[in-house]
């Protein structure tokens, strides 16, 4: 996608990659992401500031050092019952931002995440997706590891594994698993709603 901003001698006085404006813009982006709970690895992937500065910003804003440990890298979590409904909602918001908002990359993810959270505020529901999860989801989707399938019952679009895409798909809301809604949170093993029979 278009990355022509960094042209040094362009006709527009755009922020160069080493300019003060670029620096401010990236700092603002980092602050925005940290405010939404982004992990350090996510910041490093999206913000072009040195790691030490990101760590310092994180400490300053959160009052603690960024947590260590790997990001949740499995696609399976998004397929479990409750997270799947939320992941589908998030992706719908993300795609709306790309299509109608003409945003791309991290901007679309940020706006999509906000939209997702606003929607939850209205329905008074707890968020299942942290910003880092949402970011991972978009990555999986853009890399073709996860995709959307239309439910033959409610006609909504839901997140499925790329190799799980099938013509006659029924979503977890139309066909909830027996245990759905009883536990407080689906366990890490997760109910494989989409495994079908
Ligand atoms: Zn459905």
Q: How far is the CA of 159 from the centre of ligand 1 (A)?
A: 12
Q: How far is the CA of 170 from the centre of ligand 1 (A)?
A: 5
Q: How far is the CA of 156 from the centre of ligand 1 (A)?
A: 6
Domain spanning 76-161, CATH architecture: Orthogonal Bundle (1.10)
- For the entire predicted model, the pTM comes to 0.79
Chain-centroid distance of CA 142 in Å reads 11
Tens digit of pLDDT for each residue in 126-159?
999 999 999 999 999 999 999 999 999 999 999 9
Evaluate if residue 74 carries a pLDDT over 50.
yes
Evaluate if residue 26 carries a pLDDT over 70.
yes
Reported confidence tier of residue 20, pLDDT bands at 50, 70, 90: very high
Between CA 50 and CA 65 the distance in angstroms is: 16
Out of 11-20, 75-84, 150-159, pick the least confident.
Answer: 11-20
Instruction: Please report, rounded to a whole number, the percentage of residues in the chain having pLDDT higher than 90.
Output: 67
pLDDT at 178: 77
Q: How far is the CA of 176 from the centre of ligand 1 (A)?
A: 10
Q: Where are the domains of the chain?
A: 21-62, 76-161
Among residues 78, 74, 100, the alpha carbon closest in space to that of 89 is found at 78
Q: How far is the CA of 128 from the centre of ligand 1 (A)?
A: 19
Q: Which residues surround ligand 1, an ion (CB under 5 A)?
A: 151, 153-154, 171, 174
Give the residue-averaged pLDDT of 110-123.
95
Annotated binding site for Zn(2+): 151, 154, 171, 174
Among residues 132, 187, 140, 189, the alpha carbon closest in space to that of 164 is found at 140
Between CA 41 and CA 45 the distance in angstroms is: 6
């Amino acid at each position: 996608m278009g990355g022509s901003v960094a042209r040094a001698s362009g006709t527009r006085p755009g922020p160069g990659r080493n300019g003060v404006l670029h620096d401010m813009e990236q700092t603002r982006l980092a602050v925005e992401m940290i405010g939404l709970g982004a992990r350090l690895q996510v910041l490093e992937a999206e913000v072009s500031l040195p790691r030490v500065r990101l760590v310092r910003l994180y400490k300053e804003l959160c009052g603690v050092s960024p947590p260590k440990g790997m990001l949740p890298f499995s696609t399976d979590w998004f397929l479990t019952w409750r997270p799947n409904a939320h992941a589908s909602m998030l992706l719908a918001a993300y795609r709306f931002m790309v299509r109608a908002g003409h945003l791309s990359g991290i901007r679309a993810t940020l706006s999509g995440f906000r939209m997702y959270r606003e929607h939850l505020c209205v329905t008074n529901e707890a968020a299942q997706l942290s910003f880092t999860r949402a970011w991972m989801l978009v990555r999986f989707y853009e890399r073709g590891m996860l995709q959307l399938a239309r439910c033959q019952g409610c006609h909504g679009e839901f997140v499925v594994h790329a190799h799980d895409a099938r013509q006659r798909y029924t979503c977890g809301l139309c066909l909830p698993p027996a245990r759905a809604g009883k536990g407080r949170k689906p366990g890490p093993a997760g109910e494989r709603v989409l495994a079908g029979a």
